[in-house]
A and B are shown apart, each in its own frame.
Chain A
Amino acid sequence: MPDDHEINYNSYKELPPSPIATGSSLVFKTGGWRTMRPIIDLEKCKKCGICWKYCPDVSIIIVEDLPKVDLDYCKGCGICANECPFDAIVMVEEESI
Chain B
Amino acid sequence: MKLTIPEQELMEKGHMACLGCGGSLAMRYLLKALGKDTMMAIPACCWAVIPGVFPYSCLEIPLQYVAFEATGAAISGMEAALKAKGKKDGVTVVGWAGDGGTVDIGIQALSGAVERGHDVKYVCYDNEAYMNTGIQRSSATPKGAWTTTTPVGNTRFWKQTNKKNIVEIMAAHDIPYACTASVAYPEDLIKKAKKMKDIKGPCYMHIYAPCPTGWKYPPEKTIELSRLATESCIFPLYEVTYGKYKINKDIKDEKKKPIIDYLRSQGRFRKLDEETIRSLQKHVDDEWIKLKKKVECFGEE
Residues of A within 8 A of B (CB): 7, 9, 16, 19-30, 33, 47-49, 52-54, 56-59, 62, 65-67, 70, 72-73, 75-79, 81-83, 91
The answer to whether A58 and B13 touch (CB under 8 A), given A53-B186, A82-B223, is yes
Chain B nearest CB, measured from A61 CB (Å)? 9
Say yes or no: B12 contacts A25, CB within 8 Å: yes
Known: A77-B219, A79-B223, A82-B224. A24 touches B2 (CB 8 A): no
Contacts of B12 in A (CB 8 A): 24-26, 58
Contact A79 to B219, CB < 8 A, known contacts A27-B56, A73-B14: yes
Sample of 16 further A-B pairs with CB below 8 A, known A21-B57, A62-B1? A24-B12, A27-B56, A30-B13, A30-B16, A47-B1, A49-B1, A53-B3, A53-B5, A56-B28, A58-B11, A58-B13, A58-B28, A72-B13, A77-B212, A77-B219, A78-B218
Return 16 A-B CB contacts under 8 Å, by A number.
A19-B54, A21-B57, A25-B13, A25-B14, A26-B14, A28-B14, A28-B52, A49-B2, A54-B25, A54-B223, A56-B28, A58-B11, A67-B1, A73-B13, A79-B222, A91-B220
Query: Which interface residue of A25, A47, A59, A79 has the most chain B CB atoms within 10 A?
Result: A25
A33 to B: closest C-beta gap in Å? 7
Cβ of B36 < 8 Å from any Cβ of A? no
Q: Interface code B60-80, partner A: CB below 8 Å = 1, 0 otherwise?
A: 000100000000000000000
For B257, the chain A residues whose CB sits under 8 A away are none
Q: Smallest distance from the beta carbon of A78 to chain B beta carbons, Å?
A: 3
Q: Are B14 and A79 in contact (CB under 8 A)?
A: no
B13 adjacent to A26 (CB under 8 Å): yes
Over the window 220-233 of chain B, the binary record of Cβ atoms lying under 8 Å from chain A Cβ atoms (1 yes, 0 no) is 11111000000000
The answer to whether B153 has its CB under 8 Å from any CB of chain A is no
Residues of B within 8 A of A67 (CB): 1
Q: Which of these, B3, B13, B51, contacts A57 with CB under 8 Å?
A: B13
Q: Is the CB of B17 within 8 A of A56?
A: yes
Q: For the complex, what is the distance from the CA of A81 to the CA of B19, rounded to whole Å?
A: 14
Known interface pairs A25-B56, A56-B25, A77-B19; A82-B221 also in contact (CB < 8 Å): yes
Q: Which of B13, B20, B25, B222 contacts A59 (CB 8 A)?
A: B13
Q: Which residues of A sit under 8 angstroms from B1, Cβ to Cβ?
A: 47-49, 52, 62, 65-67
The main secondary structure of chain A at its interface with chain B is loop
Assess A24 versus B221: contact at CB under 8 Å? Given A53-B3, A56-B25, A70-B13: no
Check if B16 sits within 8 Å of A28, measured CB to CB.
yes
CB closest chain-A residue, reference B5: A53
Smallest CB gap from B186: residue in A: A53
* B1-60 at interface with A (beta carbon < 8 Å): 1-5, 9, 11-17, 19-22, 24-25, 28, 51-52, 54-58
| CA distance in complex: A73, B19 (Å) | 11
- Among B12, B16, B51, B221, max chain A CB count under 10 A is at B12
